[in-house]
Amino acid sequence: MTDYFHLNAAEDQLQSISSLGLAHLGDGVFELMVRSWLCLHGKATARNLHRATVTYVSAPAQAAALERIRPLLTGEEEAVFRRGRNAKPHAVPSAATREEYQTATGLEALFGWLYLRGETGRLNELFAAMMEG
């Protein structure tokens, strides 16, 4: 049985997943981390948890967060980010510029890639750096 909380995907598996597929997964990983952070740090009341979550997972917020961690990225992580950023989205939400949306997609692709590699320590390190800023 596959343990979906502790993955270690092979490199050929990772290469076969599209950038938008990585971003789709990374979006869920990032949102789960934000929700956990909000609950553990008492940053929002139960009634405002969704609104608080949205402030962190919106494309503009993710784009700003990426800029805080960009100097920390390894060459391989930067390549995954660029691959995700350069993916062609079907549409851009009205609350974000195209650049913000593409940057957010790159961040999500990076989080999806790290998750599939089982690099939870690195995910936590990057997430902590984003939330401290």
DSSP characters for 8-34? ---HHHHHHS-HHHHHHHHHHHHHHHH
Q: What is the pLDDT of residue 133?
A: 59
Q: Which residues contact 59 (CB under 8 A, 6 or more apart)?
A: 93, 95, 96, 100, 101, 103, 104
Catalytic residues: 27
Q: What is the pLDDT of residue 49?
A: 87
Q: How far, in Å, CA of 133 to CA of 128, rounded?
A: 9
- Domain regions of the chain by residue span: 11-132
Which pLDDT tens digit goes with each residue over 75-117? 999 999 999 999 887 777 778 898 999 999 999 999 999 999 9
Is CATH 1.10.1520.10 correct for 11-132?
yes
DSSP characters for 39-52? HHHT-S-GGGHHHH
User: Can you say how many angstroms the Cα of residue 126 is from the centroid of all Cα atoms in its chain?
Assistant: 10
Which pLDDT tens digit goes with each residue over 6-62? 889 999 999 999 999 999 999 999 999 999 999 888 877 777 888 889 899 999 999
Element housing 92 (H / E): none
Asked whether the beta carbons of 112 and 96 are under 8 A apart, the reply is no
User: Can you say how many angstroms the Cα of residue 24 is from the centroid of all Cα atoms in its chain?
Assistant: 9
Q: How far, in Å, CA of 9 to CA of 18, rounded?
A: 14
